[in-house]
Copies of this chain bind each other. A is one copy, B any other.
């Protein structure tokens, strides 16, 4: 039985969509047990009795716009749903945690409560992103850390390789180094050094430099850069997709006949289009480099997206990814 702690109050649509997604996950996976942390009064309307569902009352929760996360957070906010769920994992009662709550709070508290694994000196945020080929693809570090070193990026590449092999069954997934040109020697010092380290690494299938005009179409399934650059890439994809969606909708609505055509004949296709570009399909972001499984679901997660984030966490535990990453990293210099 795999046991996950759920921050039932995190996310724009919590607790409703979080609870519904959790119930969907329990239905789909008979080897899954969930403990939901949240305000029982607010959760009650959506809860049902289920033999593998537990609840723990958490009197407080983080606002999605919370600022000033710092050392005091762990002391002052220890009765929030997120930190209670985190401590539950820390104390060994559950195997991992899923939260759609505020990213910085999740990163910070998991860094100090779940703790980084000693084999990896940095923590990274690794969202799954859509790809035209429909192959699972990881972008990292999307977390905005601005002081990464080449050897950290290599650790992130190893982590992602293990995840794609073990959880997603991908054969020899390749690592593309996000860069301004494809030739060796392109980019900043960190890019040139990372290129060299990745080329020499036996445990990594190195694709080479990857220009982001191929970001969603390339064969590389691990898209790697420092926390600043990968964060910019992620947000640019989000911004471009949003703008294109707006323009498409506006164009379709601009004529009655095309609006009718869209409603009558193309509803399913336009829905599929939206689905293909949505992060909901592929699950949340992994927090890479910790002693336990932590998955950050998107802040605007509806039940389906949250169920997928749970599936992802469950599989990370099921396939013992953390230990396999440790093993891969531990042997990197052999």
Contacts and interface: CB of A to CB of B under 8 A. Distances in A.
Interface of A: 130-132, 144, 146, 178, 180-181, 187-188, 211-217, 227-229, 231-233, 235-244, 246-248, 251-252, 254-255, 257-258, 260-262, 264-266, 268-270, 272-273, 276-277
B240 A241 contact: yes
A266 B252 contact: yes
B215 A236 contact: yes
Contacts of A188: 146, 228
This chain: copies in complex = 2
Contact of A260 (B232, B238, B265, B273): B265
Contacts of A241: 240, 244
A255 B269 contact: yes
A187 B146 contact: yes
A243 B131 CA distance: 8
Contacts of A248: 248, 273
A277 B247 contact: yes
A180 B228 contact: yes
Nearest to A216: B243
Contacts of A146: 180, 187-188
Given A265-B257, A265-B260, A132 B246 contact: yes
B251 A272 contact: yes
Given A229-B232, A232-B236, 5 more contacts: A146-B187, A213-B238, A217-B243, A258-B269, A261-B265
Nearest to A67: B183
A240 B247 contact: no
A233 B212 CA distance: 8
Contacts of A258: 265-266, 268-269
Contacts of A251: 269-270, 272-273, 276
A228 B238 CA distance: 19
Contact of A277 (B132, B229, B242, B244): B244
Contact of A144 (B181, B261, B264): B181
A276 B247 contact: yes
A215 B187 contact: no
Contact of A247 (B132, B237, B266): B132
Given A144-B180, A247-B276, A264 B261 contact: yes
Which of A188, A248, A270, A277: most chain B Cβ within 10 A? A248
9 contacts: A144-B181, A212-B239, A215-B239, A215-B240, A229-B229, A232-B233, A247-B276, A258-B265, A258-B266
